[in-house]
């Protein structure tokens, strides 16, 4: 693609439906992590039992909740969305459900990471042009 064609593509404003689709897709992982952090802050017996089942001590529950909220907030800010997407993907795939060894959790983490990527490209890529 020539530089003139690239410049014309960048000058064209994105369609409205693309921006809103990206916003909705971007909200899904943020809401999932916020909900998870809310359960962690509440310290329900199910959360404590689940942490123990996956091999994490109860003392790390607050740290997990703060990391979830922090990465969701960083992702929600357009200027830092790329860093937030990386942090959310790293949390979901390296420190969260995937190391726990549950196939359904792996599928959910991969799907959430894909939605995360698609949403950030449609929303924040369009807004930062």
Predicted confidence band of residue 2 (pLDDT cuts 50, 70, 90): low
- Is 26's pLDDT higher than 60? yes
Determine, yes or no, domain membership for 39.
yes
How high is the mean pLDDT of the chain? 76
The pLDDT assigned to 125 comes to 52
Whether the CB-CB separation of 71 and 33 falls below 8 Å is answered with yes
- The answer to the question of residue 3 being in a domain is no
Position 123 pLDDT exceeds 50: yes
Q: Is residue 2 part of a domain?
A: no
Q: Are 26 and 75 in contact, with CB atoms under 8 Å apart?
A: yes
What pLDDT, on the 0 to 100 scale, is given for residue 40? 87
Provide the residue range defining the domain that includes 104. 15-127
Backbone region of residue 89 per phi and psi (left: phi > 0; alpha: psi in -120 to 50; beta: other values):
alpha
DSSP the chain: --HHHHHHHHHSPPPHHHHHHHHHHHHHHHHHHHHHHHHHHHT-HHHHHHHHHTT--GGGHHHHHHHHHHHHHHHHSGGGHHHHHHHHHHIIIIISHHHHT-HHHHHHHHHHHHHHHHHHHHHHHHHT-
In total, how many domains does the chain have? Answer: 1
pLDDT of residue 95: 63
Q: Check: pTM over 0.75? Answer yes or no.
A: no
For the stretch 67-85, pLDDT in tens is 889 988 998 888 888 888 8
Which residues lie below 8 Å from residue 30, measured CB to CB, with a gap of 6+?
72, 75, 76
Q: Is the pLDDT of residue 46 over 70?
A: yes
User: Picking from 33-42, 57-66, 73-82, 104-113, which range would have the lowest pLDDT averaged per residue?
Assistant: 104-113
| 89 within domain boundaries | yes
pLDDT of residue 128: 47
Residue 9 forms part of a structural domain: no
Whether residue 98 lies inside any domain: the answer is: yes
**CA pair distance 45, 68, nearest whole angstrom:** 19
**Residue 62, domain member (yes or no):** yes
Give ∠ CA 16-19-25 in degrees, rounded to 5.
Answer: 140
């Amino acid at each position: 693609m020539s530089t003139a064609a690239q410049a014309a593509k960048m000058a064209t404003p994105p369609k409205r439906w693309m921006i809103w689709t990206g916003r909705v897709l971007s909200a899904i992982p943020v809401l999932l992590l916020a909900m998870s952090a809310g359960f962690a802050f509440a310290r329900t017996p199910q959360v404590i039992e689940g942490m123990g089942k996956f091999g994490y001590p109860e003392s790390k529950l607050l740290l997990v909740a703060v990391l979830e909220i922090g990465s969701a907030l960083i992702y929600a800010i357009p200027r830092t969305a790329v860093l937030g997407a990386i942090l959310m993907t790293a949390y979901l795939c390296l420190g969260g459900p995937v190391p726990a060894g549950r196939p359904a959790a792996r599928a959910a983490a991969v799907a959430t990471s894909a939605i995360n990527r698609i949403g950030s490209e449609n929303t924040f890529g369009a807004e930062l042009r």
